Amino acid sequence: MAMMRKPALKKFQVTDAYKTAPKSMPVLELVLRMASTFGDARYGKMRFDTVILGDDPLLGLCVAVHHLRQGKKVLIAPDSLSTKDWPSEEWGAIRANIQNHYDEQVHEELQRHLNDLGPKDGLQKALKILIRECAEQGQVLLLVDDYLQSSSGHIKGNERTIFFPLNKAHGHAPKLNPLWQLVSRKLPCLRFNHAEIEYIQAGLMINTSPVSSFIDPALCEPLSPARTSSEEQPLKWCRNDSVRYAFSNIERTQ
């Protein structure tokens, strides 16, 4: 695994104490919470211009490279539906077939954006080129051994931009694409301390596949129409179209 980073836990983070406080917290408790930052309470946060959720290594890396070229700081956060939330027993196999699909149209679309991709190269080569570009500047991190949860309706701060580490007690353990292991060997990785209060602040959240039940889908911008629900529609949205869309300027719509 590449270099590991963790959010730095700091004292005197009065603003963080307020933003992450439960929305229903009474005034006196809120004042005490903010005052505790001058004592033992510590808060950790990391800001990213773009956070990419989902379980599609190729599309996730394409989005990351596109935003990196615009000078943005990016977090890739692999995640997927828990197996208990699969709409059918075959859903995992369907997803794997889509993620691993690589044909001439996909290759041609990638060549438009990756100068080092040769005419006889395949998926593995494309992934290596994308990973290398992401790793060169150190502005793209990969979340490992952790998952995010949204804060919709629960905190005093801007719930659109604040995402907490998911408590491991939830037992969320999705079956992720094994190609993420290849990515984790080269990209700088992020892991939470799971101590005190930590959160990720995201300027834009993009999902490349259906999000888990711990993320409010209304906070994400789907990569393509086929990604807006757990039901895939490969006939209506081809893989090369998804790659093309990954290299486009996706903006917040809500």
Convert 183-196 to b/e letters by CB count within 10 Å (16 or more is b).
Answer: bbebbbbbbbeeee
Q: Is residue 134 part of a domain?
A: yes
Q: What residue has token string 């379980």? A: 55
Q: What does the alpha-carbon distance between residue 170 and residue 120 come to, in Å, rounded to a whole number?
A: 45
Residue 56 is predicted with a pLDDT of 94
- Residue type present at position 16: D
Q: Is residue 224 part of a domain?
A: yes
Q: What residue has token string 């793209």? A: 140
Q: Range of 193's domain?
A: 46-149+161-246
Q: Is residue 109 part of a domain?
A: yes
Task: Report CA-CA distances (Å) from 166 to 101, 127, 169, 177, 251.
Answer: 31, 28, 8, 20, 26
Task: Report CA-CA distances (Å) from 174 to 40, 158, 159, 177, 207.
Answer: 35, 28, 24, 10, 15
Residue 226 is predicted with a pLDDT of 40
Q: Is residue 209 part of a domain?
A: yes
Element (H, E) at 167: none
| Six-digit token string for 199 | 């959160």
Q: Is residue 124 part of a domain?
A: yes
| List of the chain residues with pLDDT < 50 | 225-236
| Six-digit token string for 127 | 């992934």
Residue 230 is predicted with a pLDDT of 44
CB within 8 Å of 136: residues ≥ 6 apart: none
| Six-digit token string for 219 | 């906070």
| Six-digit token string for 173 | 């353990």
Q: What's the total number of domains in the chain?
A: 1
CATH assignment at residue 238: 3.50.50
Task: Report CA-CA distances (Å) from 52 to 5, 202, 224.
Answer: 18, 10, 13
CB within 8 Å of 141: residues ≥ 6 apart: 5, 48, 74, 75, 76, 187, 188, 189, 190
Residue 218 is predicted with a pLDDT of 87
- At residue 184, φ and ψ (nearest 5 deg) are -70, -20
Q: What does the alpha-carbon distance between residue 81 and residue 173 come to, in Å, rounded to a whole number?
A: 9
- Residue type present at position 187: L
The rounded Cα 83 to chain-centroid distance in angstroms is 19
Q: Is residue 181 part of a domain?
A: yes
Q: Is the CB of residue 224 less than 8 Å from the CB of residue 56?
A: no
Q: Is residue 37 part of a domain?
A: no
Q: Is residue 105 part of a domain?
A: yes
| Six-digit token string for 53 | 């959720």
Burial of 179 (0-12, 13-18, 19+ CB in 10 A): buried
